[in-house]
Amino acid sequence: MKGGTKAHTGGRSAGEFSWPVRVYYEDTDLGGVVYYANYLRFMERARTEWLRAAGVDQTRLLAEHGLLFVIVGCELAYLRPARFDDLLDVSVVPTAKGRSRFTVEQEVRRGAEVLVTGRVSAACIDAASFRPRGMPASVRELLERRVDVD
């Protein structure tokens, strides 16, 4: 895979990408658990690495096509807390793709224990106008290998 990134499947399905995240002191709240909003950051890192592993270079997408991906919706369920120094696995499972958007299911795990689940939808937009635009064919083809089309 590109850029030295690699999918960590941890015994899960072959189509699932996951990325390791260590919990640092700065990620925790007064109670010593991960602050709820930081799970969104962890999920963002995993999605970025999933795109990179799929061959999607977001810097080139902006420079060559004037396009960005933005989050247009997300829903999270917090099941169990993570704590300082925990090693987490954040998964990305693509579930749908359209001309200008895609959706992924994500989980944050500590070993086999699921801590947070989420569904995140992203849209491709024009960087100047912030209006939706279709993804270039090259990007759609790269994601096609990873996403079941609705």
Any idea which residues carry the catalytic annotation?
A: 29
Q: Which residues are bridge partners to 108 per DSSP?
A: 90, 116
Kindly list the distances between the CA atom of residue 32 and the CA atoms of 27, 29, 112, 120, in Å, as whole numbers in the listed order. 9, 5, 22, 27
Q: What is the H or E stretch that residue 142 is in?
A: helix 137-144
Tokens standing for 101?
A: 């958007």
Alpha-carbon dihedral 69, 38, 79, 19, rounded to 10 degrees: 60
State the CB neighbour count (10 A cutoff) for residue 52: 16
